[in-house]
Structure 1
């Protein structure tokens, strides 16, 4: 492993701090170095609100889903009281992962020594052969509950018990998105991809349109659109808005669904592309929304989860299953195009000859994202 001297010296990033059209891109090791990634985990992902899907992934009491986020095993579950909670998915006996995959259960039971926990509050309710252990009290060994808060059906996880509430993180985003009635939407599909790239490579790509004429020349480049400055934000998010006609979730000429009836203002004129810091992208158009949910794994590996949401009224149409395939076809093409080019960029970033580049006027949010990361990585 290459040791980078003074990796977190602020002077290394002075050129990134300059105004957009004078600035340089991040040093390449910010995308390839495990020490930089470790610092991101410590100063960003273990401190902020991380998007982890929608409540309807666990619709019924006892439904659970287990996953890892930046190396932390987590399980979310809907309790008998209807509330969705998150727990550290590590047994309080000797640390084994308690639950795997997803399903329905009445209790959590560790596969190693059968310690058993209640799904409603994580309390330890069964521990065999512990009667002779001096001072052992089950009430002190429940699963550790993690902070989980919701907005409009979306779930956000925070590992820091001292962090401000989710509403503070989102700021005015719920107001900006209000007319989409996101709380009334239904998740109709969830697809996972394994990416051979750094999480920032994918975020940066998603938040600029400079690449569209090249990467998407056979798909979404065929749709006419305008270019606007970034959305003004009063929260931990950035955004782009493009005016156009026709749903941005369809390829040209494809049949779609009626538009969302509650739309008003700018939402009737185009599509919002929103980044909720640090690693979640929402696309919100006339008839649906989709999300790109990133789970960073290492400096050069990321899991991408793509979710599709439609108004409940739309999903109840007799022709929903037929027409929705047109939307899935669009995402399957354009998202794979983005996946492929992100992997290609990561290969180039690994070269010993690569150096920081410069920004186009069409990449303002890449510059914003990079400085947002630096602010936190250098704060330690």
Structure 2
């Protein structure tokens, strides 16, 4: 299906805008078009709060990690006071990156001409700049980027005029209060390469229609669709969510041993899994004994990096049997992620066909429809 000359005209999406039972799925080219992807970067990723990992990745003063997100290189670090900071990873002299990888430093030194920056972003030292008229170090610090945390998770926003993270999340922190996310440790992160568009992975994560087929031997054995329901819950913030009612932990394969339930859980959270998708693409799953996140780095219209993070209550991590039991969770996550990646990669190939056309939604895909319309609200003319 050919990309129209102006892919952002609302008329191309009239059928997507209809109620779920009447709506069509997105035009295939929204998953393959470079032009559509760049509009998502400009109108979404550069404007919203983007999930960037866990505070355990930079626990101490001087710790840093250099990241790149939709073409923007930046640094997350802890300053000398232990505060989290974020800066554009671009030297104020001629633009070189000043940090690579991760580690612990006293300062950042540009590898090109040796300009040095403190952990507070201030330019602290230069070489041979004394003959440059009107040059003052205080005017050339690293450019700061908005950063905030919730539940031990790090978010950044590239828009200097953005709303607060608290306003963006709305009632999500209240809904997950009994999980005590700030008391959890991020014990493992694993990276995966996806040969498909970021939206395909997000849509897949928030529909239960595929579980009986793609996850027939894994998730379907623990929380089958018809009994777990995967019902949509109310959300007063920039997220959508489901709750699956089931026995045991969603994070284990059937009959595998795990940790006891989180003692502070209240109400329905003691008997199932609450799984919000923070727009545009951060998936959290909070079940009775653990939580995990799926973090996406869109690279292009058909390429995405996925980071899976595993979180457990900190008191579980000091148990002598922690590694033995945690391996059961890792086994489940690694297996089901590969199942989802394979499904998404196949979908990308099929959707790129010149014969691909929009389809119709199943009643088990309400959040796919909701996510797609959230995106359209931001990218269309």
User: TM range, normalised to the smaller chain?
Assistant: over 0.9
Q: CA RMSD in A?
A: 1.0
Structure 1 residues 213-222 or 35-44, which shifts more? Answer: 213-222
Could you tell me whether the CA contact under 8 Å between 2:245 and 2:273 is conserved in 1?
A: yes
- Partner SS, residue 21 of structure 1: coil
2:108 equivalent in structure 1: 108
Q: C-alpha distance in 2, partners of 1:236/1:47? A: 13
Where does structure 1 lack aligned partners over 5 or more consecutive residues? none
Q: C-alpha distance in 1, partners of 2:351/2:94? A: 40
Query: Residue by residue, what CA displacement relative to the aligned partner does 1:1-27 show, whole Å, maximum 9, x if unpaired?
Result: x76312111010000000001100111
Query: Residue by residue, what CA displacement relative to the aligned partner does 1:21-51 show, whole Å, maximum 9, x if unpaired?
Result: 1100111111100100100011100000000
Could you tell me whether the CA contact under 8 Å between 2:238 and 2:279 is conserved in 1?
A: yes
Q: CA deviation at 1:129?
A: 1.2
- Partner SS, residue 90 of structure 1: coil
Query: Equivalences for 1:8-27 in 2 at 5 Å?
Result: 8-27=8-27
1:96 equivalent in structure 2: 96
1:146 equivalent in structure 2: 145
1:208 maps onto 2:210 in alignment: no
Q: 1:226 aligns with which of 216, 225, 228?
A: 228
Query: Equivalences for 1:33-52 in 2 at 5 Å?
Result: 33-52=33-52
Q: Which runs of 4+ in 1 moved over 2 A?
A: none
1:83 equivalent in structure 2: 83
Q: C-alpha distance in 2, partners of 1:91/1:184? A: 36
1:65 equivalent in structure 2: 65
TM-score calculated relative to the size of structure 1: 0.98
Could you tell me whether the CA contact under 8 Å between 2:87 and 2:145 is conserved in 1?
A: yes
Q: 2:367 aligns with which of 357, 361, 365?
A: 365
2:172 equivalent in structure 1: 173
- Partner SS, residue 313 of structure 1: coil
- Partner SS, residue 348 of structure 1: helix
Q: CA deviation at 1:297?
A: 1.0
Query: Residue by residue, what CA displacement relative to the aligned partner does 1:258-298 show, whole Å, maximum 9, x if unpaired?
Result: 11000001101210111000010001000000000011111
Q: C-alpha distance in 2, partners of 1:222/1:322? A: 22
- Partner SS, residue 281 of structure 1: strand
Could you tell me whether the CA contact under 8 Å between 2:208 and 2:230 is conserved in 1?
A: no
- Partner SS, residue 129 of structure 2: coil
Query: Residue by residue, what CA displacement relative to the aligned partner does 1:211-245 show, whole Å, maximum 9, x if unpaired?
Result: 11111112111124421431101000100101100
2:353 equivalent in structure 1: 351
1:377 equivalent in structure 2: 379
Query: Residue by residue, what CA displacement relative to the aligned partner does 1:174-225 show, whole Å, maximum 9, x if unpaired?
Result: 0000000001000000011111111100000000011111111121111244
Q: 2:279 aligns with which of 273, 277, 280?
A: 277
2:252 equivalent in structure 1: 250
